[in-house]
Structure 1
Amino acid sequence: MTAGIEVRGLTKRHPGARPDRPALQDIDLEIPHRRFVSLIGPSGCGKSTLLRILAGLEGHDTGSVSLLGESPRRASRRKAIGLVSQTPALLPWLTVRANVALPGKVNRRSGKEVDPPDELLRAVGLEDAADQYPHQLSGGMLQRVAVARAFALRPDVLLMDEPFSALDEFTREALQYQLLGLWQRRATTVVFVTHSVREAVVLSDEIVVMSARPGRVHEVLDVDLPRPRDKDIVKGPHMHDLEDRVRASLQRAWKAGAAPDDLVPL
């Protein structure tokens, strides 16, 4: 497959932190273009830091990062990167339609083809809310708008930092399938940070399990569920086997990353 994201020997230290405890150390990661990959690991393992480095929002100390053959900042300048955070960050004085259309308006000189906002809102089930304002929407609806907006410029890479973590289980599940539908039609490379094992398995082609202190790639697990995915596919026994594999890997990663004083006999 064509290389989408390549990270080689990446180390990141936060100012004032202990020199022997970088946030990220010797990260090697290769994500083929148009794959959906989740990052999962204990709190403090550097998942969000790695995502910000990929987005060009933070630098790193050693190593290299490449998105489709160019640096994150260069990819960001040509509007090749979409970013969805935990907070939708919509403009309250604009309607839902105007919020989704905004990336195309402020980036007219980029030359990028823009998807019509009504088409994107239809894809996330919000066509009837197009003329409403953010304060009139629920949390789940706001995040749907944020996802639709992120796809507006047809990004080559979409980075998502726990976008559904604050939602109830039912809404979260509905948004997962809507996200899959958008991704499958637009063939974007997705890196998705989550703390949910089930969410990672439902969405991903591969799951990157990280260990902390310092943050490292512990293991990369394949998710061999067929696509397109629906609720019937993720109900079978193989789904449970995959979830058990991820949980076992997380347990090993936690032990590998914990200092001796952190280990408590079970």
Structure 2
Amino acid sequence: MTAGIEVRGLTKRHPGARLDRPALQNIDLEIPHRQFVSLIGPSGCGKSTLLRILAGLDRADTGQVSLLGRSPKQASRRKAIGLVSQTPALLPWLTVRQNVALPGKVNRRAGSKIDSPDELLRAVGLEESADQYPHELSGGMLQRVAVARALGLRPDVLLMDEPFSALDEFTREALQYQLLGLWQQRATTVVFVTHSVREAVVLSDRIVVMSARPGRIHEVLDVDLPRPRDRKVVKGPHMHDLEDRVRASLQSAWKAGAAPDDLVPL
């Protein structure tokens, strides 16, 4: 299987941090192209830092990072990376359609690669909200707009940093299945940061369990639930077995100094 993302020997220290406590240490990770992979671990283990390095927003101190054979900066310049953060960060003076259209307007050289805003809004079920402004939308709707905007340039890699963490359980579950549908349609490599064991299992092909202080890869677990995933699949006994495996791995990772009270067992 073609490698989508490769990380070799990555170490990252924040300014002023103790030399023996880097944010990330000796990270080796390979994510096949078009897989959905979740990063899970306690706060402070470097999940978001790793995502920022993959996005080209931060730099590692040592090691190599490759996205489809390119450096993060090269992949970013080619508009091969989409990023969805915890907060949608929409421009309040623009309508939903205008917010979704913005990447195409500032990246005109992308040409035919750009999807139309209305097509993207249909994909996330928000075509009727195209002329509304962000302050008129619910939290779940705002995140759907953010996902639509990130997909506008048809990125090869979609990086998502706890995009559903602030939503209620019902909305969160609905958006998980919508995201899976979009991912399967577009054949994108997804790296998804979460604190929720259940969310990681529902979404992923593989789950990367990280330990903290310093952040390291503790274990990589395969999720062998059939696809496409629906509520019937995730209500079966094997789902619970997989959740137990992830929790056991997290318990083991805590021995490296992680604090368990910030994980949400949804």
Which residue matches 1:165?
Answer: 165
Identical-residue share of aligned pairs (%): 88
**Mean CA deviation greater in 124-133 or 114-123:** 114-123
Shift of 1:109: 1.3
1:195-233 CA-partner distances (Å, limit 9, x unpaired)? 000000000000000001100000000000111111111
* 1:14-53 mapped onto 2 (5 Å cutoff): 14-53=14-53
2:203 matched to 1:203? yes
1:109-136 CA-partner distances (Å, limit 9, x unpaired)? 1345111221221121111111111010
- Tell me the amino acid that sits aligned with residue 96 of structure 1: V
1:170-201 CA-partner distances (Å, limit 9, x unpaired)? 00001101111111000000000000000000
Unmatched segments (≥5 aa) in structure 1: none
Which residue matches 1:83?
Answer: 83
2:103 matched to 1:103? yes
- Tell me the amino acid that sits aligned with residue 138 of structure 1: S
Query: With structure 1 as the length reference, what TM-score do the two structures score?
Result: 0.96
Which residue matches 2:5?
Answer: 5
Unmatched segments (≥5 aa) in structure 2: 261-266
1:77-106 CA-partner distances (Å, limit 9, x unpaired)? 111000000010111111111111111111
Which residue matches 2:264?
Answer: none
Aligned residues: 260
2:137 matched to 1:137? yes
- Tell me the amino acid that sits aligned with residue 240 of structure 1: H
Please report the RMSD computed on the Cα atoms of aligned residues, expressed in angstroms: 1.3
1:39-79 CA-partner distances (Å, limit 9, x unpaired)? 00011000000000000000111110000001000100111
Which residue matches 1:247?
Answer: 247
d(CA) in 2 for partners of 1:104 and 1:230?
33
Query: Contact 1:112/1:153 (CA < 8 Å) preserved in 2?
Result: no
1:126-177 CA-partner distances (Å, limit 9, x unpaired)? 1111111101001111011001111110000000000000000000001101
Change (3 A) 1:20 1:106: same
- Secondary structure of 2:231 counterpart: coil
- Secondary structure of 2:221 counterpart: strand
- Secondary structure of 1:83 counterpart: strand
- Runs of 4+ deviating beyond 2 Å: none
Which residue matches 1:126?
Answer: 126
**Mean CA deviation greater in 237-246 or 114-123:** 114-123
Query: Contact 1:209/1:218 (CA < 8 Å) preserved in 2?
Result: yes
Which residue matches 1:192?
Answer: 192
1:220-264 CA-partner distances (Å, limit 9, x unpaired)? 000001111111111100000000000000000111x128xx89x
d(CA) in 1 for partners of 2:199 and 2:257?
25
Query: With structure 2 as the length reference, what TM-score do the two structures score?
Result: 0.96
Query: Contact 2:110/2:153 (CA < 8 Å) preserved in 1?
Result: no
- Tell me the amino acid that sits aligned with residue 153 of structure 1: L
Shift of 1:108: 0.8
**Mean CA deviation greater in 20-29 or 125-134:** 125-134
d(CA) in 2 for partners of 1:153 and 1:232?
33
- Secondary structure of 1:232 counterpart: helix
